[in-house]
């Protein structure tokens, strides 16, 4: 693969942000930060056969998701994504057109958010493709939705539905088989491959004086544990209130585990005050953004996160979920 | 390896920049950009057995260099490095103490520049370690040293000496053997493993109204070609003026190729006006920063870069150098 040719083919023809002073083509990118905002920066790496397999995902899907998971981190800060940089280590078995298709998948999502590709690196590797995406965003000064901002009596919420991504992966790996054509298995698979970062909900939360937010990468239980720890509070959620797809329970008896520990849904979970919850719920309804109240924040007890069930209650540990095991 | 334990062990205890609002520990880092500056951002990936081998380099060396090459890009823009983020894909054969040592190598260099580690990601990979470093810096508005800023009659210069890194690698790979103990082979090897980014010289150049700069990652010939192309000029350099270590020519007959095409010296090469050159030379002398005039910028001709030799002249192509071949 000719690196110069690749760089030429992926270099954007247009730039959305006038604040980009120098994009791809010099030693580094240059941009001017706005006054009155804080810069947000995050980075995530995805590795072939650890985070994705070409057997299940197209290069476009892989590119899409590599950018989506980073945009989701910006959303979880209440921010607006602006720029991204892509560093890839490419093994010989990947063709140039597959690499271009991966960038196309990123570009598809970037266009939605008016994001500019402003830099990156391309190197060789012997075996597996590694893609690292850095995303830069911004949020109005003092309005970031930090994990440490949950307070007792806050309402705990989650966007969209949870467990669908884990269900999709399970279907892809053929650990789960749908018994009936009445279940739209493609839907779950799509949720795994093409998560939708919840930037709009993050932006609504950042309009409040205080909101705690996390995106669901490692599973609801893990994310709520992080909020509880950082805020020195306990969180109590109600199993019956967890938003899941109506077909989820029909797919596999493990469905509750998917919802609590599955991860990779890239929904947002967080807490706001009771009065802000009413505003948030209303605003989300108006914009047709699904959001569900799932519990309350309590004064700190011994347990960080408690799940109330029909039979009593259960402590939710910070355990993750190993997807390809 | 326990990711939480690793993150805890690498999370900095102190932060140099008061502009860091949130460092490691939330979904993303937050910082406030200064007024009157432009933000600079770059990313570079290094892959085990492509860019380094554990056989030759310690984990500290690898960490040091992964950060150094990015600081060098900031230097080549005339900027000040501020923050870095590290994303690593770790194979099972790397121990936790090796990973920590790699971060220590970065930290050693970061301390010199008062840089803060503000984020990153840690994932698994089956085979080779991959480390991707993102660096953020800043430069006074309008003062970045872009490749496109060379003008006819400018003086062309290079810092330090060139070819030493390629010589060091050749010694490491045992393609070159020193015939005499009078040659300090460790010096060349050190230059390969621990390049020193030329931030101070970049800063001096950014004080001028106009300076073109590139750092030497792919070799002097390649970097000057990039400046010539971006600036629509031709560059003429003089072989007899190229700064090389006095022992370089004794190591191997290929030494001129090392100097012109070897790369990885991470010195700076660039152009400034004649009057600015006098100032730059003086300032570098005062600060004991080695810098050498090597040629002139000319009106654009058919050839981008011409090397004048005793026997006439030769066109320098943009060819690179494949280190492990």
Structural domain boundaries enclosing A188? 147-315
pLDDT digits (tens, 9 = 90+) for B149-163: 999 999 999 999 999
Write out chain B residues lying below 8 Å of A127, CB-based: 126-128
Write out chain B residues lying below 8 Å of A120, CB-based: 43
In the three-class reduction of DSSP (H, G, I as helix; E, B as strand; rest coil), residue A260 is classed as helix
B181: Cβ contacts below 8 Å, ≥ 6 apart: none
Please indicate, yes or no, if residue A54 is contained in any of the structural domains: yes
Q: What is the mean pLDDT of each run of 10 residues along chain B (325 residues)?
A: 71 85 91 96 96 94 98 98 97 95 97 96 95 98 97 98 96 82 87 97 98 97 97 98 95 93 96 98 98 98 96 89 47
How near does any CA of chain A get to the CA of B24, in Å? 10
CATH of the domain at B298: 3.90.650.10
A73: Cβ contacts below 8 Å, ≥ 6 apart: A42, A44, A135, A215, B27, B28
CATH of the domain at B90: 3.30.1330.10
Binary contact (A79, B28; C-beta < 8 A): yes
Same domain, B136 and B151: no
pLDDT at A324 over 50: no
Residue after which a domain boundary falls, among A86, A121, A140: A140
Same domain, B163 and B39: no
Q: In terms of Cα–Cα distance, which of B80, B82, B86, B90 is closest to B67?
A: B86
Same domain, A92 and A48: yes
- Which residue from B76, B88, B126 is facing A128, i.e. has the nearest CB? B126
Q: Is A267 on the interface with B (CB under 8 A)?
A: no
List the single residue in B with minimal CA-CA distance to A72.
Answer: B27
pLDDT of amino acid A320: 65
* Neighbour tally for A63: CB within 10 Å: 29
pLDDT of amino acid B183: 78
How near does any CA of chain A get to the CA of B22, in Å? 9
How near does any CA of chain B get to the CA of A312, in Å? 31
Phi, psi of A73, deg, nearest 5: -65, -40
Judge contact between B317 and B221, C-beta under 8 A. Answer: yes
pLDDT at A199 over 60: yes
pLDDT at A152 over 80: yes
Rounded to two decimals, the ipTM of the complex is 0.94
Binary contact (A40, B29; C-beta < 8 A): yes
pLDDT of amino acid A256: 94
Q: Is A74 on the interface with B (CB under 8 A)?
A: yes
pLDDT digits (tens, 9 = 90+) for B212-228: 999 999 999 999 999 99
Please indicate, yes or no, if residue A290 is contained in any of the structural domains: yes
Q: Considering chain A, what percentage of its residues have pLDDT values greater than 90?
A: 85
- A103-117, A177-191, B34-48, B161-175: lowest mean pLDDT where? A177-191
Binary contact (A85, B43; C-beta < 8 A): yes
Q: Is A7 on the interface with B (CB under 8 A)?
A: no
Token pair belonging to A160: 């969209």
Pairing of strands A155-159, A268-272: antiparallel
Same domain, B43 and B191: no
Q: What is the rounded distance in angstroms from the CA atom of residue B131 to the CA atom of residue B48?
A: 9
DSSP string, A25-68: TBSSEEE-PPTTEEEEEEEEEEEBTTTB-TTTS-HHHHHHHHHH
Please indicate, yes or no, if residue B325 is contained in any of the structural domains: no
pLDDT of amino acid A4: 67
Same domain, B97 and B192: no
Please indicate, yes or no, if residue B322 is contained in any of the structural domains: no
Residue after which a domain boundary falls, among B97, B121, B140: B140
Please indicate, yes or no, if residue A324 is contained in any of the structural domains: no
Same domain, A105 and A251: no
Q: Is A287 on the interface with B (CB under 8 A)?
A: no
pLDDT at A11 over 90: no
pLDDT of amino acid A269: 98
pLDDT at A251 over 70: yes
Instruction: Give bridge partners of residue A271 from the DSSP assignment.
Output: A156, A212
Which one is predicted more confidently, A1 or A174? Answer: A174
Same domain, A224 and A306: yes
pLDDT of amino acid B324: 44
Same domain, A168 and A297: yes
* pLDDT band, very low/low/confident/very high, at A63 (cuts 50, 70, 90): very high
Residues in binding site of B: 27, 44, 51, 73, 103, 120-121, 147, 215, 217-218, 264, 321
Same domain, A97 and A170: no
pLDDT at A86 over 90: yes
Q: Is B124 on the interface with A (CB under 8 A)?
A: yes
A13: Cβ contacts below 8 Å, ≥ 6 apart: none
Token pair belonging to B112: 């010199």
Number of domains in chain B: 2
A315: Cβ contacts below 8 Å, ≥ 6 apart: A303, A304, A305, A306, A307
Please indicate, yes or no, if residue A322 is contained in any of the structural domains: no
Residue after which a domain boundary falls, among A116, A140, A164: A140
Q: What is the rounded distance in angstroms from the CA atom of residue B301 to the CA atom of residue B91?
A: 50
Please indicate, yes or no, if residue B25 is contained in any of the structural domains: yes
Same domain, B114 and B176: no
Please indicate, yes or no, if residue A275 is contained in any of the structural domains: yes
Q: What is the rounded distance in angstroms from the CA atom of residue B22 to the CA atom of residue B173?
A: 43
Q: What is the rounded distance in angstroms from the CA atom of residue B218 to the CA atom of residue B185?
A: 22
* Neighbour tally for B270: CB within 10 Å: 29
B275: Cβ contacts below 8 Å, ≥ 6 apart: none
- The per-residue pLDDT of chain A, averaged, comes to 93
pLDDT at A203 over 80: yes
* pLDDT band, very low/low/confident/very high, at A325 (cuts 50, 70, 90): very low
For A142-169, b where at least 16 C-beta lie within 10 A, e where not — what string? ebbbbbebbeeebbbbbbbbbbbbbbbb
pLDDT at A73 over 60: yes
Judge contact between A79 and A45, C-beta under 8 A. Answer: no
Judge contact between B38 and A21, C-beta under 8 A. Answer: yes
Same domain, B205 and B287: yes
Judge contact between A142 and A88, C-beta under 8 A. Answer: no
End-to-end Cα separation, chain B, in angstroms: 33
Write out chain A residues lying below 8 Å of B22, CB-based: 144, 146
How near does any CA of chain B get to the CA of A126, in Å? 8
pLDDT of amino acid B4: 66
Q: Is B88 on the interface with A (CB under 8 A)?
A: yes
* Neighbour tally for A140: CB within 10 Å: 16
Same domain, B29 and B106: yes
pLDDT at A158 over 90: yes
Q: Over range A155-184, report the average pLDDT.
A: 89
């Amino acid at each position: 693969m000719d690196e110069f040719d690749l760089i030429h083919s992926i270099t954007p023809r247009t730039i959305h942000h006038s604040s980009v002073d120098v994009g791809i083509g010099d030693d580094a990118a240059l941009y001017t930060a706005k006054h009155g905002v804080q810069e947000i920066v995050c980075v995530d790496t995805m590795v072939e056969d650890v985070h994705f397999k070409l057997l299940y995902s197209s290069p476009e899907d892989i590119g899409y998701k590599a950018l989506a998971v980073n945009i989701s981190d910006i959303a979880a800060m209440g921010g607006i994504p602006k720029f991204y940089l892509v560093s890839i280590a490419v093994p010989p078995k990947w063709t140039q057109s597959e690499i271009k298709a991966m960038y196309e998948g990123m570009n598809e999502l970037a266009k939605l958010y008016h994001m500019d590709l402003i830099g990156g690196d391309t190197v060789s590797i012997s075996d597996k493709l590694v893609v690292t995406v850095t995303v830069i965003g911004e949020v109005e000064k003092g309005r970031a939705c930090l994990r440490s901002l949950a307070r007792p009596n806050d309402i705990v919420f989650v966007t969209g539905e949870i467990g669908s991504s884990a269900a999709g992966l399970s279907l892809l790996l053929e650990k789960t088989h749908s018994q009936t054509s009445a279940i739209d298995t493609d839907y779950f698979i799509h949720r795994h491959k093409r998560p939708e970062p919840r930037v709009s909900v993050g932006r609504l939360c950042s309009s409040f004086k205080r909101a705690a937010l996390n995106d669901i990468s490692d599973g609801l239980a893990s994310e709520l544990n992080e909020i509880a720890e950082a805020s020195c509070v306990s969180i109590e959620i109600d199993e019956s209130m967890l938003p899941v797809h109506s077909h989820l329970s029909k797919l596999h008896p493990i469905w509750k585990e998917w919802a609590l520990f599955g991860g990779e849904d890239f929904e947002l979970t967080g807490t706001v005050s009771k009065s802000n919850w009413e505003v948030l719920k209303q605003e989300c309804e108006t914009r047709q953004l699904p959001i569900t109240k799932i519990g309350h924040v309590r004064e700190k007890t011994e347990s960080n996160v408690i799940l109330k069930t029909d039979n009593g209650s259960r402590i939710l540990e910070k355990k993750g979920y190993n997807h390809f095991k």
